[in-house]
Structures are given as structure tokens and as C-alpha cells.
Amino acid sequence: MIKDRLEHAKIYYGISENFKKGFEWLKNSDLTALPDGRYKISGDEIYANVQSYETKDDALYEAHREYADIQFMIKGREKIGVADYSDCSAAEEYNKDEDIEFLNCNKPDSYEIIEEGEFLVLFPQDAHKPSINPDKKLNVKKIVVKIKL
């Protein structure tokens, strides 16, 4: 897991060319003007999901096997629970088409708060439960850039 601000994204370009392209797309797009939906950045290798929603009290953990997430907060703030995938068990069967598995995790949660302008990079070993209330329900707008590993 990596937490940082978008203005520091260049530091992480060396992870892979796909990460570089994903971060550059975030930096060069008018993010506040994008309507909710899916945006292709580089075929199925890199795409973005723009989402507007109200934060919630709790959620199941999720994990991905083929993609990493760059979860970037455009508007609002939310809490994201993070746990080691190896400390979790399947709550639902892995969905290969959507590259998502919902999990129950045994270890206590560690939480990260992401605020406007911040991102969280989550790799396959990072089980995570996004969209949680930081202290009360909030309306947020977030982009999740999916990076094929």
C-alpha cells in the first residue's frame, strides 16, 4: 500500500509503465468535470472508474488478483480499511470477470483516511474495504484507476 498526494505521483512512475500512464492520466484530466462511469486509458491494461456516492458505516473487504488500484479522492473524504490478504478468508467466490473477491479478515483493521487530492495504491496483497464514513456520512467523488499487473 502507498498513500500520497497526486503532486508527488512522479515518484511512483518507476513501478511500471502502466502506473506512469495511470498517474499521468490523473494529473492531466479535468477530474472534477468527469461524469461517473468507466474510462479507457490504455485498453484493458489501464482504465478508470469515476464514482459518486455516500460513505457507509461498514463494508466487506475486497481484493483483486490481476489489477492494482489507485484510489484518488476528487471531492470529500473517506476511511479505507486495509488488511493483509493472507489474514482473510473468502466471503464470496472470486469473480474473474470483474477481478474481485469479497473477504472476511481476521486481524484488526488498520484504517487510512484519504482526502481531496490524496491517493491510495492498493496491490493484490492489500485487502481493503473502501467507502467507509470517516466520522459521519459524506458525499464523495472518487476515481479508481485500475492498473494491470
pLDDT at 128: 97
For the record, the C-alpha cell of 75 comes out as 471531492
pLDDT at 106: 84
pLDDT at 109: 73
For the record, the C-alpha cell of 143 comes out as 476515481
- Assess whether pLDDT exceeds 70 at residue 72: yes
58-80 mean pLDDT = 97
pLDDT at 48: 98
Query: Average per-residue pLDDT in the chain?
Result: 96
pLDDT at 55: 98
Give the CATH class of 2-148: mainly beta
119-135 mean pLDDT = 97
The phi, psi pair for 52, rounded to 5°, reads: -120, 130
* Closest to 1 measured CA to CA, from 134, 114, 132: 114
How far is the CA of 104 from the CAs of 1, 64, 78, 79, 115, in angstroms? 19, 14, 20, 18, 26
- Assess whether pLDDT exceeds 90 at residue 103: yes
CA distance 146 to 38: 10
- Assess whether pLDDT exceeds 90 at residue 108: no
pLDDT at 111: 93
Please state, for a pLDDT cut of 90, what percent of the chain lies above it.
97
The phi, psi pair for 7, rounded to 5°, reads: -65, -15
* Stated pTM of the model: 0.95
